[in-house]
Structure 1
Amino acid sequence: MANTPGAKKAVRKIERRTAVNRNRRSRVRTYLRRFDEAVTAGDAAVAATAFTEAQSELMRAVSKGVVHKNTGARKVSRLAAQLKKLTLA
């Protein structure tokens, strides 16, 4: 358990930051789910808009430090591949 005032403050800061990051991560997952649902439904137009939103949200999470840069790039790349596959079919 934290004993010093500085350590107690650090614990409070970590709790706040964890809550914010949890919300951001949840938001990213929501947009990814929407894209996945659009792809599953086979609707290319809806999937294209969902892709744009999901990409934007993922890169925002990267800039905020919630997701690593390479992880965000990999996920966006895979989403783009899914979208391309859907539009060609």
Structure 2
Amino acid sequence: MKNLTKAFAVIALTSASFATFAATEVNSAPTGTQSIGVVSASTNSGDLSTLQGKLAAQAAQQGASSYRIVSAGGESHMYGTAEIYK
């Protein structure tokens, strides 16, 4: 069971690192960019960084250059939304 948990952690961190290069998290709407929509994600890990990585990956898949997390919540099941910009 520990090996399975470690494997999921490695996969999550790897995809979060990759996604971070494709779309950058911002605290406010970047000047000179346009909002192109909203993405959402959820995770059963209860880990906010895993959720953040999933939102970054969703933003990258939509072609966003940056994203801003507008909501996140949960305990053992995390969920969130992010506005994406290009």
TM-score strictly above 0.5: no
Higher strand share: 2
> Normalising by structure 2, what TM-score?
0.38
Question: Bigger relative contact order, structure 1 or 2, given CA contacts below 8 A and separation 6+?
Answer: 2
